Chains A and B, each alone.
Chain A
Amino acid sequence: QKEVEQNSGPLSVPEGAIASLNCTYSDRVSQSFFWYRQYSGKSPELIMSIYSNGDKEDGRFTAQLNKASQYVSLLIRDSQPSDSATYLCAVLERTARQLTFGSGTQLTVLP
């Protein structure tokens, strides 16, 4: 059974700090990895996708992928109160279209 595990949280960081969100996955054939942000009462919003080992940066967000360790992370630099949300890690197999989601990590950025 495919599993995606996220650090349980909740995670609190002060404004301006770096928030680090982690995710591990069990299926070695997984090829595509995504981070979604979900505000309370809203739908998941895609904020990052990463397909190859290494880092991918987009503004204040950096996704890191290590396929050998089956590990993907999301760093949020200069965290803002508006970053307070639940962050969902999602994994896609190479030959499938179904995403497997983690249970999410709730992040609170304290002003």
Chain B
Amino acid sequence: DAGVIQSPRHEVTEMGQEVTLRCKPISGHDYLFWYRQTMMRGLELLIYFNNNVPIDDSGMPEDRFSAKMPNASFSTLKIQPSEPRDSAVYFCASSPSREQFFGPGTRLTVL
């Protein structure tokens, strides 16, 4: 299996622009998670899905953030408008049950 796939791997954008991060989970995994990692705050859960349905989005920082999972093999995390404080590494992880497997991450820089 190819593992969790994320794109792009790096994104540099200007404040106010829309950013879309993409994730393809491991086939057969029913759970999908979006995390954000910064030096100051560590690894934070933003939202997770079970069978394509959002279960807990309490970690989404603001209305500027939204996430969708239109099917079992694809999810997006959108930031609109982006701000410099959104700069971080965003990870997607998928899970068949308890163990979570992370993708390579997207390093986002908002100027």
Interface residues of A, Cβ cutoff 8 Å to B: 32, 34, 36, 42-46, 49, 51, 88, 90, 92, 97-99, 101, 103-104
**What bracket does the count of chain B residues touching chain A fall in?**
10 to 19
Chain A's closest residue to B3 (CB) is A43
Q: Mark B50-85, 1 if CB is under 8 A from A, else 0.
A: 100001100000000000000000000000000000
- Beta-carbon contact of A88 and B43 below 8 Å: yes
- Once bound together, how far apart are the Cα atoms of A42 and B33, in whole Å? 17
Interface of B is mostly: strand
Q: Is the interface of A mostly helix, strand, loop or mixed?
A: strand
| Contact across chains for B99 and A44 when beta carbons are under 8 A apart | no
Is B42 a contact of A46 with CB atoms below 8 Å?
no
Nearest Cβ on chain B to A103's Cβ, whole angstroms: 5
Could you tell me if B45 and A104 are in contact, using CB atoms closer than 8 angstroms? no
When the two chains form their complex, are residues A101 and B42 in contact, meaning their CB atoms are under 8 A apart? yes
- In-complex Cβ contact of B42 among A36, A92, A103 (8 A): A103
- Please tell me if the beta carbons of B45 and A99 are within 8 angstroms of each other in the complex: yes
Q: Is B105 an interface residue (CB 8 A)?
A: yes
- Known A42-B104, A43-B91; judge A98-B99 contact (CB<8 A): no
Give A45 to B55 CA distance when docked, in angstroms. 24
CB contact between A34 and one of B43, B56, B91, B99 (< 8 Å): that residue: B99
